[in-house]
Amino acid sequence: MEAQHTMVNCDDCKQDFSLTSIEQKKLDNGVERNYFICPHCQRQYTAFYTNQKVRRNQAKITALGREVQHATTLNKSNRLRKQIEELSEDNKREMDRLKREFDSEE
Ligand SMILES: [Zn+2]
């Protein structure tokens, strides 16, 4: 997660606010909804969903990222980057799927 603060414009009250924190709420089957709240009108926005698989992949990506920094050969570094890319793609698909599944319940 990037530390940089993103400015968001609220759909409801049309005021800007800076995205400083993302809240988590546990749903069924290990799924977590990550969301943020407009400080002006309290409207909730879903940022993304994760499940155990996604969080496991994220942990792997972080670990691989550290390994890349310590990779001694270009070959190894490229192989690690490829793994990170594949895990990221996998996560993107899984998170899209979760979003479709859970957004319809709101
Ligand atoms: Zn608002």
Task: Tell me if 26 is assigned to some domain.
Answer: yes
Give the chain's domain count.
Answer: 1
Q: What percent of the chain has pLDDT over 90?
A: 88
Give 12 Cα–ligand 1 centroid separation in angstroms.
5
**Helix or strand holding residue 83 (H, E):** helix 74-103
Tell me what pLDDT residue 3 has.
55
Which residues have beta carbons under 5 A from ligand 1 (an ion)? 10, 12-13, 38, 40-41, 43
> In the chain, what percentage of residues exceed pLDDT 70?
94
CB 12 within 8 A of CB 43: yes
User: What confidence tens digit (pLDDT) does each residue in 55-88 have?
Assistant: 999 999 999 999 999 999 999 999 999 999 999 9
Average pLDDT, integer, range 92-106: 88
pTM of model > 0.85: no
Domain containing 55 equals 6-103
Asked if residue 1 is part of any domain, the answer here is no
